[in-house]
Amino acid sequence: MSYEHTEYWIVDKNIDQERTKAQINEAGMWIKKGEVIAFPTETVYGLGANALDEQAVRKIFAAKGRPSDNPLIVHIAERQQLDQLVTDISPQAEKLIARFWPGPLTLIFKKKAAVAPSVTAGLDTVAVRMPDHPVASALLQAAGVPVAAPSANLSGKPSPTSAEHVRHDLDHKIAGIVDGGKTGVGLESTVLDCSGTVPVLYRPGGVTKEQIEAEIGPVALDLALHSAQETPMSPGMKYTHYAPAGTLWLVQDRSRIPELVARSKAEGKRVGVLTTIEHQADYQADLVKACGKRSSLATVAADLYESLRAFDHAEVEVIYAETFPAEGVGIAIMNRLEKAAAGRML
């Protein structure tokens, strides 16, 4: 589907401004009408459609080029909307809702029939979260319906952390974009399956495994966390995701990076290095991109996708990336890098 014009609303996070209210209400009306609208959340920009309208949801898949067996996350504005979508909310899930909603935690439940079939990709479960972003919350209120929303990018590419990223990927492919500035967390939400006896972590994110376990005790890690599986139970599990156009290699021993860069440059390739502020001066390449501070992995998470997109803008052909400790938010960072590199590790 192609649109002659994609509507563009620049809104203020102070949603009480009259102009902002009017723009958000207009965008919400488009969602009510069955159209697809991109909007900011505290994680990344989402691409939203009415989760109860099958034809509207299919427009998400068409715009992104997303495989139809890859389920979506439903975003809600109020706790009571959850009862419209799911059954069997466990005491553990209730604890997590009380502690982390609104916020970057998605929970998986047994679904109700009201959820559009394409949202769940044929599964008997549905993933739901309540975003912690004033613009997202106001838009969901204005729409008045649960909103299915994956990241607002072309499928497989780095997720968007600004409206400009969305416009680059999806201009003329969707009805509108709500520009609420740069997102905060920078990585997609944590996904935890609460539909069974033991909660299972399917995707690490802004809420860490340690934080979850502090509330409800031990959770299981999905065996496919770092690989592809036949039937994805949540977004980000089966396909190569978050990938720049250039070939990305993860380098466990960063002392090897200068040699690897020299070898690739000798082959006539444009080369990039993904590092942090602490090590930026250690490398010479066509683009050396500092992605936050190693001493503060939250800053790495916030800058990761923007950094990967910068390599595309510089037409870099091969990228060598430092790796990060697999603890706390570092688990989420490495999960995204491993997906972006399709497992290429040196």
Burial, 161: exposed, middle or buried (Cβ in 10 Å; 0-12, 13-18, 19+)?
buried
Q: Give the pairing type, strands 105-111 and 37-39.
A: unpaired
Task: Check pLDDT > 70 for residue 329.
Answer: yes
63 pLDDT more than 70: yes
Tell me if 137 is assigned to a ligand binding site.
no
Strands 271-275 and 147-148 turn out to be unpaired
d(CA 324, CA 134): 31
The per-residue pLDDT for 44 is 96
Q: Is 326 annotated as a binding residue?
A: no
What pLDDT is recorded for position 228? 46
- Angle among Cα 168, 169, 172 to the nearest 5 degrees reads 90
- Determine the 3-state secondary structure of 8 from DSSP: strand
Question: What domains does the chain contain, in order, with CATH numbers?
Answer: 7-221 (3.90.870.10), 247-340 (3.40.50.11030)
Residues β-bridged to residue 157 = none
- Residue 19 among known ligand-binding residues: no
**What's the rounded mean pLDDT across residues 67-76?**
92
**Ligand-binding site membership of 151 (annotated):** yes
- Going by the DSSP 8-state scheme, the letter that residue 67 receives in this structure is -
Please indicate if the annotation marks 195 as binding a ligand.
no
pLDDT band at 232 (very low <50, low <70, confident <90, very high): low
Q: Is the pLDDT of residue 279 over 60?
A: yes
Q: In 305-323, which positions are buried (b, 16+ CB within 10 angstroms) versus exposed (e)? A: bbbbbbbbeeebbbbbbbb
Question: 119 falls in which pLDDT band (50, 70, 90)?
Answer: very high
Contacts of 85 (CB under 8 A, 6+ apart): 51, 74, 76, 109, 111, 112, 114, 115, 126, 128, 146
Q: Judge whether residue 1 has pLDDT over 70.
A: no
**Annotation-wise, does 189 bind a ligand?**
yes
pLDDT tens, 237-276? 555 568 899 999 999 999 999 999 999 999 999 999 999 9
pLDDT tens, position by position, 149-196: 999 999 888 999 999 999 999 999 999 999 999 998 999 999 999 999
Q: What pTM value is reported for the model?
A: 0.91
Sign (positive/negative) of CA torsion 341, 42, 170, 122? positive
Say if residue 2 carries a ligand binding annotation.
Answer: no
Q: What percent of the chain has pLDDT over 90?
A: 84
Render pLDDT for 122-140 as a digit per residue (tens, 0 to 9).
999 999 999 999 999 999 9
| Confidence at residue 239, expressed as pLDDT on a 0 to 100 scale | 52
Give the whole-angstrom CA distance, residue 202 versus residue 346. Answer: 25
Q: Is 75 annotated as a binding residue?
A: yes
pLDDT at 240: 58
Any known ligand binding at 87? no
Please tell me the predicted confidence (pLDDT) of residue 14.
Answer: 80
Residue 4 has what pLDDT? Answer: 83
Name the percent of the chain lying above pLDDT 70: 94
Mean pLDDT score, 206-234: 77
Least confident residue range of 12-21, 70-79, 223-232: 223-232
20 phi/psi in degrees, rounded to 5: -65, -45
Q: What is the mean pLDDT of the chain?
A: 92
> Any known ligand binding at 183?
no
